[in-house]
Chain A
Amino acid sequence: MQIKTMAEYFAEGEMPEVLFWVGCAGSIDQRSQKITRAFAEILTRTGTKFAVLGKEEACTGDPARRAGNEFLFQMMAYNNIQVLNGYGVKKIVTACPHCFNTLKNEYPELGGHYEVMHHTTFLQGLINEGRIKMKEGGTFKGKKITYHDSCYIGRANGIYEAPRAVLEALDAELVEMKRCGSRGLCCGAGGAQMFKEEEKGTTRVNFERGREAVETGAEIIASNCPFCMTMLTDGVKETGKEDSVKVLDLAELIARDMQE
């Protein structure tokens, strides 16, 4: 894949349309890398002029902040904002709801003002503009898909329609879980839980959510967060249905059935 970095654009004296903020999970975690590549492929195929920061990108500081380590968060934010402002970045798209929330809501008062979009909304825009066209009778036509609302896209930022609008493009049958939309149940990873063992309880949050998702009878659980992806994949595994129920990111679903 040919992907240019911000530094390369800068050296050429050019400015990309949008910066793709990949995030740590999308950069490092093997499963999430597939989502990153799917989204980069969509950007490339729709002719979107985009850049990544590459090695210059660093954690936004979200998990540190939510765990209580404000110092570390502020340090990460300071450095990231220096880099972003240094390049004069105006518009950012990211596939991670946690990065999205931090960049959009928490960086402005620290001096980082950007137009920040989650890939969910960005995909919806590309579909609406006709830049993404789906194949007739694609892979997912008529299949049951359920959507898991990630907390940082849903409740934290009030985006409920966009992911469902994106799924509509697949011509699939969208089935909702009982706890959906603003009532959606967390996957269990937010607030830095991703990085530690759960507290003692009767079950794990992701087992509970995985069971609920599987009970809809959907073949595909659509998510739009790398953490939810990990948690739900494990949750589905716990039900023993991992062969018949797949957890896929919105970008992967779209990339698979996009017209050339």
Chain B
Amino acid sequence: MQIVSQLLFFAALAAAVYFFSRRAAGIRRNILLGRDTDLSDQPGRRWNNLLLLAFGQKKMFRNPLVAVLHFFVYAGFVIINLEILEIIIDGLAGTHRIFAPYLGPVYNVLIGCFEILAVLVAVSCAIFLVRRNILKIKRFLSRDLDGWPRSDANYILITEIVLMLLFLTMNTADGVLQSRQVPHYPDTGSFWVTGMFQPLFEGFSTPALTGIERAAWWLHILGVLAFLNYLPWSKHLHIILAFPNAYYAQLEPKGKMENMPAIQQEVLYAMQPELAPTEAAAAEVKFGAKDVHDLTWKNLLDAFACTECGRCSAACPATQTGKALSPRLIMMKTRDRAEAAGRGETGKTLLHDYITVEELRACTSCGACVEECPVSIHPLDIIYQMRRQLVMEESNAPQEWTLMFSNIENNMAPWKSSPDERDAWIHA
């Protein structure tokens, strides 16, 4: 019987790891659909960002209350994973609480900490469910989330609560079984949280309790493995990609736009033809981004790291004044298109089929979306690249902009005025 259970466990674990790895490779492939950009400079500052922004969740603390709750869930997730390690070894080896004899009294302290975290995670997730579904918080009510994204967020929170409750149920039953000195349940001392709930289970027979303990143990670990595989199909992927995204975050002042060396060269050769190479080796250059292949891999990493929290859109002047633009949707659409392109969908492009001209035109480049993003996403960079595509490849600009361009070109100023009048203010 024991060997069957071990084999079943091995099969479940192997399947979970296999499917997760396959999906992870798929996401990696989709991110690498983007063009290359070299972000290997200044590793010191990048590690610093990783520590502060990802591990320290610095941006989250712009709203301290939510940040603390989110930190509980995050710390719970990371730390309780130590317990998952033990569960996996137990499952494969057919042991029970294999770390207990080695750690002695420390084991009880560890499990006690895990239990406190589990309670904090469950409570925080419950508060998050209330915030999302009962309190009228604009960024959660937003139409951006209609359909799957809103359900996705709720599924994640509910799953986390259920997993934590299973973990606590398992420990409660385990504690009672320990007190009855049932073989296979080593005495670890009373657990900090579930110890208080043991009276609830005292009335059950030992076989019933063993059943409860085993059921909770199995449901918990199978739930964890299932969640592992839900993760990369969901916005919850941010728990992994927030880390590389913080590492590769923009290091220059936020106001700096990406240069286009190809155009810089072209203008230089036009102005100083003597510098132009005699051999016309002009590679085909694309101006701006029409589809995900034209964006950088960092733009696409951004899209997969997005957890759709909507802090960007809540701060966006265009979104706040009812324009079609929502930076959160820019990211969600970019990810959707990258997924579709990865599946081989052709005949559609990110620009026009997913993101409209009206959205791009409404951006004031104020950088509020970039400033707010807790996981270092840069929606503005995508908007800029698509504006370049519109103007330079499609000659698509509102009439006022066309006029502004011609004024700059002819009058050296965006308005209609003679360059000779430029110093008129001195004499006025």
Contact = CB atoms under 8 A, between A and B. Distances in A.
B264 interface: yes
A201 B318 CA distance: 8
Interface stretch (B95-103, B133-141, B396-404): B396-404
Residue of A22, A59, A70 contacting most chain B CB atoms (<10 Å): A70
B253 A158 contact: yes
Interface stretch (B16-24, B85-93, B298-306, B384-392): B384-392
A81 to B, nearest CB: 11
B365 interface: yes
Given A59-B412, A70-B392, A78 B254 contact: no
A5 B423 CA distance: 10
Contact of B408 (A61, A152, A196, A204): A61
B249 to A, nearest CB: 15
Contacts of A24: 412-415
A202 B426 contact: no
B217 to A, nearest CB: 47
A114 to B, nearest CB: 15
Interface string B206-231: 00000000000000000000000000
A119 B95 CA distance: 71
A213 to B, nearest CB: 14
Contacts of A28: 413, 415, 417, 421-422
Interface in B367-423: 367-368, 370-371, 384, 387-392, 397-398, 400-401, 403-405, 408-409, 412-415, 417, 419-423
Nearest to A97: B255
B389 A68 contact: yes
Interface in B37-71: 62
Given A191-B365, A203-B321, A64 B405 contact: yes
Interface stretch (A85-93, A128-136, A180-188): A180-188
A70 B417 contact: no
B362 A198 contact: yes
Interface string A113-129: 00000000000000000
B247 to A, nearest CB: 21
B320 interface: yes
B102 to A, nearest CB: 49
Interface in A196-227: 196-205, 208-209
Interface string A1-44: 10101000000000000000010101111000100110010000
Contacts of B397: 67-69
B315 A183 contact: yes
Contact of B317 (A57, A101, A205): A205
Interface string B238-262: 0000000000000011111101100
A156 B358 contact: no
Interface in B131-184: none
Given A37-B425, A58-B419, A78-B267, A197 B391 contact: no
B5 interface: no
Interface residues of A, number: 70
A157 B253 contact: yes
B419 A203 contact: no
B263 A70 contact: yes
B29 interface: no
B322 A203 contact: yes
B387 A205 contact: no
A202 B321 contact: yes
B364 A156 contact: no
A251 to B, nearest CB: 13
A196 B364 contact: no
Contact of A195 (B389, B391, B401): B401
B425 A67 contact: no
A256 interface: no
Interface in B320-370: 320-325, 358, 361-368, 370
B322 A191 contact: no
Given A78-B271, A110-B259, A59 B426 contact: no
A36 B362 contact: no
B428 interface: yes
Contacts of A157: 253-255
Contacts of A68: 288, 384, 387-392, 397
A64 to B, nearest CB: 6
5 contacts: A24-B413, A76-B408, A196-B361, A196-B401, A200-B358
Chain A to chain B: the 4 pairs with minimum beta-carbon distance, closest first: A156-B255, A191-B365, A202-B322, A68-B391
Interface of B: 62, 252-257, 259-260, 263-264, 266-268, 271, 287-288, 315, 317-318, 320-325, 358, 361-368, 370-371, 384, 387-392, 397-398, 400-401, 403-405, 408-409, 412-415, 417, 419-428
Given A105-B256, A191-B363, 19 more contacts: A22-B422, A33-B428, A61-B408, A64-B414, A66-B257, A70-B263, A74-B260, A76-B408, A105-B252, A152-B255, A182-B371, A185-B368, A186-B366, A186-B368, A192-B365, A199-B361, A201-B322, A204-B321, A208-B317
Interface of A: 1, 3, 5, 22, 24, 26-29, 33, 36-37, 40, 52, 54-55, 57-59, 61, 63-72, 74-76, 78, 101, 104-106, 109-110, 151-152, 155-158, 182-183, 185-186, 188-205, 208-209
